[in-house]
Structure 1
């Protein structure tokens, strides 16, 4: 009987040791955009799986996102900031609820259009993207690549090209359309219809805009520029 108990304890210890070893992590870091640097840990057994603390920093200085992953899933409290380090959101991924939400700032590189006639008496709330108005919109910038056939022309005129990312959000709070336009002197150079079915399902979900408490269609306009690696970053 004693021998069986000892063997049982040894088995539990061995199992726990294996589980602990399976969760060993190693550090990784990279530039997510020209201005955002991210540092995080991944499993040693699979370096594509984030596990442990995560931080995204504006120019390696001010945090724009920080929280924890558990086997590639965000967990617990996450804090999101703008590039000045001002807090925009605190979201609890365990309870699926905002614990802090700053008032919308309409003076940034983001602009909003509500597809409904508004009167001064109307109460309007703007659409909300989890991740805040800085970190939350990076995926829509990073998905764009300059087409090879346009590469030479874009590089020659890059300083003169204005980029506008347009997201259409339905009253149900889903990304309904996703466009990117390149303009020179306010004239359309090329428009791209992007796939609204983004790789991360979380990036198609918004809190919709409302007018007097009724959800409405809205558009989010993001001013950007073309980076040296032919992606986009905030203007």
Structure 2
């Protein structure tokens, strides 16, 4: 009898929780899509399960509690099914970190000495998180029609400047067209969810420091990324 009562209470609690939220979805940048739930009483506050997909593949899954990421979140490579990261937001630490996923970008930490113990900045969300910040940006669409007329292919060098607190303080893009014309832009990442732009900062001798993350991509006139270096 006690067991039946316990199950009934759990089901009742779950039903009540579902009644307090509504489903939502959003388009981060044209290729990364989010599905989540928000409170009925305040639709700006996320509450409950969250999933992000890249070309239909799940790249992030976790939960929100009162608008904050909570518990363990699992992140996947853009075209892989194996987890590359598991980050516990309650404990603010990784329980799984695949170092191989960090090999794509280049990392720059200035003014270091040979004896220093250095660790590179780590994007929470791995390579998928960096792709969300650098691919299909609306600010870069139309470059071939405007600032770089006549170009068919573009090489885009993204430099993310990461603060000691792990936030992006500048996003510089150096664009070179196959017509030999160039353009430098500063993108605004403030419109993203702060957790999408968050890094674990670079460390030198266990102290957080400023750093840069550099990723180079190749694009065509439609804005589709055709290659990542």
Equivalent position of 2:60 in the other structure:
65
Given that 1:224 and 1:234 are in contact with CA atoms closer than 8 Å, whether structure 2 keeps it comes out as: yes
Aligned length: 213
Larger Rg: 1
Distance 1:228 1:165 in 2: 18
Distance 1:100 1:186 in 2: 44
Given that 1:168 and 1:218 are in contact with CA atoms closer than 8 Å, whether structure 2 keeps it comes out as: yes
* Structure 2 residue 116 is the aligned partner of structure 1 residue 127: no
Distance 2:89 2:207 in 1: 26
Any stretches of 5+ residues in structure 1 without a counterpart? 1-15
> Would the alpha carbon gap of residues 195 and 151 (structure 1) be closer, same or farther in structure 2, given more than 3 Å must change?
same
TM-score with structure 1 setting the length: 0.68
TM-score with structure 2 setting the length: 0.69
* Structure 2 residue 73 is the aligned partner of structure 1 residue 78: yes
> Would the alpha carbon gap of residues 37 and 206 (structure 1) be closer, same or farther in structure 2, given more than 3 Å must change?
closer
Correspondent of 1:23 among 12, 17, 20: 20
Given that 1:34 and 1:233 are in contact with CA atoms closer than 8 Å, whether structure 2 keeps it comes out as: no
Given that 1:115 and 1:216 are in contact with CA atoms closer than 8 Å, whether structure 2 keeps it comes out as: no
Equivalent position of 1:179 in the other structure:
172
Q: Secondary structure at the match of 1:133?
A: helix
Q: Secondary structure at the match of 2:145?
A: helix
**Segments of 4+ in structure 1 off by > 6 A?**
231-234
Given that 1:75 and 1:94 are in contact with CA atoms closer than 8 Å, whether structure 2 keeps it comes out as: yes
